[in-house]
């Protein structure tokens, strides 16, 4: 077992390669999911406090994000 | 094109993503575990010895780094031409994953280079192109950060991605051309043994599934983030 | 075409005017090249080997340093908005501005290059190839640079970001340009490198005006 992990003397090159790649994959997954969770909570709080009309406008603004005319905000003004 | 527009509705996208994501995540985890198991017990490469085990991390990272940039450029073109509302979100969500795999490819490459070349870095054609690809990823991410308004940022970033994708083949070709005239050795010479091909292909599949899974999560996060921004704008207006 | 020529003439005049920046760019080019022998030592054999690379990298930096003035001033005083309403398509306006940028940076750098190459102990036999390569290669720097300049025109302190965006795209011009000179120094034919450099120029010429114009439009909205 110890011999396997020594990798014929190359352990210091092989295992860091695995740690770096898999560590990046794990790290970015955890940070994405954490951020997603936090953002969902923030959005839920905003939606709870907002009147229905505003909620629809926020969603519409999202969908029409690419439209040329400024959306939502302009209609509200 | 009809399918593209059908998917353009973020609400519908989120509903589909919610159904697909658990399965995708599970498949990724299983395939990754199987691939790692196969890779770690695969026989050692006859000519390169134990360091060739780094290949199982290096090669999938390299392939993903390029595939993701291709996907980003494709999404950027769609965002720029058809103003498809999800395309620029997909491109933005891809960038960090692609940059990470590029960095991982560079680091594993230099860890592999040390036992095979005797130095951590050689100006090998593939490593050099990969380094420049990394710089292009950083530029793409920087332009998203530099422009605050997401609509304008998305179009500017799409232009960066398109300019990069047009130039990348030329850059790669020029680096190969430069490199063959200077003649240093490359990693991975000779053919890959079939006993190594199976774990390698499994891991490539796993890395690819990982990208798709993470992409969907990151897109969802971006959509939620933009809704929050919209809410705050409305609130400030009121 | 008249409008095109007028823009080229106007921008060239503005850059050449006192304080217009063109002279400073050239001075920067000369100064930076001078730093290399001071940095690596006065060994003429070493200098002659790295000379072509030093000249090209410095030309690249000089071109990049002056890119921000391509659209910035016109953007700030509103004349860019007027230009975008002119009968000339914005793509051609961009091309005219890139041409003016080349006339005031790339061309003088090309003219100065042999003088500096002499100081770097590069064999004078390679000078014609050096100048020809720079003549083909420096327009690429202005063309690709116009995309970066257009993208960062509305960004405060966009200069560093501009170089970050543009520098990776300069790699092919740098490689082919240096290899052409190197081939001439080694007594080989520089032809394939010059042809590849020419191909890179044509690609840049075909693509950059569209992307740069798209970037300008988004900043003008």
Each residue's pLDDT, cut to its tens digit, for chain C (221 residues) gives 588 888 888 888 888 887 777 888 899 999 999 999 999 988 999 999 999 999 999 999 999 988 988 888 888 888 888 888 888 899 999 999 999 999 999 999 999 999 999 999 999 999 999 999 999 999 999 999 999 999 999 887 788 899 999 999 999 999 999 999 999 999 899 999 999 999 999 999 999 999 999 999 988 88
What distance in Å separates the CA atoms of residue C113 and residue C216, rounded to the nearest whole number? 33
Q: Which of A28, A66, A72 sits opposite B230 (nearest CB)?
A: A72
What distance in Å separates the CA atoms of residue C111 and residue C85, rounded to the nearest whole number? 36
Kindly provide the ipTM of the predicted complex, given to two decimals.
0.90
CB contact under 8 A, C164 and B146: no
Residue B82 lies in a domain: yes
Instruction: List, in order, residues 6 or more apart from C195 with CB less than 8 Å away.
Output: none
Confirm if B63 and B133 have CB atoms less than 8 A apart: no
What distance in Å separates the CA atoms of residue B190 and residue B176, rounded to the nearest whole number? 18
**SS3 of residue C156 by DSSP:** coil
Confirm if B94 and B71 have CB atoms less than 8 A apart: yes
Which residues of chain B are within 8 Å of residue C216 when distances are taken between CB atoms? none
Residue B9 lies in a domain: no
Which residues of chain B are within 8 Å of residue A8 when distances are taken between CB atoms? 44, 49-50
Please give the tally of structural domains in chain C.
1
Strand partners, B49: B45
Q: Which of B142, B167, B175 sits opposite C169 (nearest CB)?
A: B167
Among C149, C125, C136, C138, which residue's Cα sits nearest to residue C55?
Answer: C138
CA nearest to A22 within chain B: B57
Residue B181 lies in a domain: yes
Query: Which pLDDT tens digit goes with each residue over B177-228?
Result: 887 776 555 555 555 667 778 888 999 999 999 999 999 999 999 999 988 8
Q: Identify the contact set of chain A against chain B, taking CB-CB distances under 8 A.
A: 7-10, 13-14, 16-18, 20-22, 24-25, 28-29, 32-33, 35-36, 39-40, 42-43, 46-47, 50, 54, 57-59, 61-67, 72-73, 76-77
**SS3 of residue B45 by DSSP:** strand
State how far the alpha carbon of A46 is from the alpha carbons of A36, A59, A77, in Å: 15, 12, 20
- Which partners does chain C have (≥3 C-beta pairs < 8 Å)? B
Structural domain boundaries, residue B153: 31-40+49-237
Which residues of chain C are within 8 Å of residue B181 when distances are taken between CB atoms? 179
Please give the tally of structural domains in chain B.
1
Among B169, B160, B166, which residue's Cα sits nearest to residue B135?
Answer: B160
Q: Phi and psi of C92, rounded to 5°?
A: -75, -35
Q: Any chain B CB within 8 A of the CB of C107?
A: no
Residue B206 lies in a domain: yes
Other C-beta atoms lying within 10 Å of the C-beta of residue B69:
24
Confirm if C159 and C118 have CB atoms less than 8 A apart: no
CA nearest to B84 within chain A: A66
Structural domain boundaries, residue C173: 2-220
What distance in Å separates the CA atoms of residue C192 and residue C145, rounded to the nearest whole number? 25
Which residues of chain B are within 8 Å of residue C169 when distances are taken between CB atoms? 163-164, 167, 171
Query: Which pLDDT tens digit goes with each residue over A13-72?
Result: 888 999 999 999 999 999 999 999 999 999 888 888 776 666 666 666 554 443 433 443
CB contact under 8 A, C179 and B181: yes
Which residues of chain C are within 8 Å of residue B166 when distances are taken between CB atoms? 203, 207
């Amino acid at each position: 077992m110890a011999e396997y992990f020594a990798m014929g003397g190359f352990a210091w090159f092989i295992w860091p390669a695995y740690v770096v790649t898999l560590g990046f994959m794990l790290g970015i997954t955890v940070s994405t999911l954490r951020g997603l969770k936090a953002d969902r909570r923030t959005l839920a709080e905003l939606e709870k406090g907002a009147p229905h009309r505003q909620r629809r406008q926020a969603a519409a603004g999202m969908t029409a994000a690419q439209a040329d005319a400024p959306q939502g905000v302009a209609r509200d003004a | 094109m009809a399918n593209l527009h059908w998917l353009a509705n973020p609400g519908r996208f989120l509903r589909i993503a919610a159904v697909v994501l658990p399965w995708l995540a599970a498949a990724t985890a299983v395939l990754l575990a199987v691939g790692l198991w196969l890779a770690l017990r695969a026989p050692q490469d006859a000519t390169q010895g134990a360091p060739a085990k780094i290949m199982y991390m290096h090669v999938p990272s390299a392939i993903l780094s390029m595939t993701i940039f291709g996907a980003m450029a494709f999404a950027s073109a769609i965002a720029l031409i058809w103003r498809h509302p999800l395309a620029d979100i997909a491109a933005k969500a891809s960038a960090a994953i692609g940059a990470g795999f590029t960095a991982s490819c560079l680091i594993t490459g230099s860890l592999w280079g040390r036992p095979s070349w005797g130095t951590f870095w050689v100006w090998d054609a593939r490593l050099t192109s990969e380094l420049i690809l990394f710089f292009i990823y950083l530029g793409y991410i920087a332009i998203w950060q530099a422009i605050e308004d997401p609509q304008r940022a998305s179009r500017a970033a799409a232009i960066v991605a398109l300019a990069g994708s047009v130039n990348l083949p030329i850059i790669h070709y020029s680096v190969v051309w430069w490199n063959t005239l200077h003649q240093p050795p490359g990693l991975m010479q000779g053919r890959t043994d079939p006993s190594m091909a199976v774990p390698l292909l499994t891991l490539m599949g796993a890395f690819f599934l990982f990208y798709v899974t993470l992409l969907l999560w990151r897109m969802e996060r971006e959509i939620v983030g933009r809704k929050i921004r919209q809410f705050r704008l409305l609130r400030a207006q009121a | 075409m008249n409008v095109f020529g007028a823009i080229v003439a106007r921008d060239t005049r503005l850059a050449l005017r006192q304080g217009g920046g063109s002279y400073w760019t050239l001075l920067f080019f000369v100064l930076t090249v001078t730093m290399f022998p001071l940095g690596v030592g006065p060994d003429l054999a070493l200098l002659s080997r790295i000379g072509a690379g030093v000249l090209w990298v410095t030309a690249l930096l000089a071109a990049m340093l002056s890119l921000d003035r391509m659209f910035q001033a016109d953007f700030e005083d509103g004349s860019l908005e007027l230009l975008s309403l002119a009968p000339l398509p914005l793509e051609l306006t961009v091309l005219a501005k890139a041409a003016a940028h080349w006339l005031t940076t790339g061309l003088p750098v090309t003219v100065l290059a042999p003088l500096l190459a002499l100081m770097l102990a590069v064999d004078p036999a390679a000078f014609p190839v050096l100048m020809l390569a720079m003549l083909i290669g420096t327009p690429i720097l202005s063309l690709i640079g116009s995309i970066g300049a257009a993208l960062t025109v509305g960004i405060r302190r966009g200069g560093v970001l501009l170089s970050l965006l543009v520098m990776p795209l300069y790699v092919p011009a740098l490689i082919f340009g240096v290899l052409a000179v190197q081939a001439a120094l080694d007594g080989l034919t520089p032809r394939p490198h010059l042809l590849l450099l020419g191909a890179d120029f044509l690609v840049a010429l075909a693509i950059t005006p569209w992307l740069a114009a798209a970037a300008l439009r988004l900043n003008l909205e």
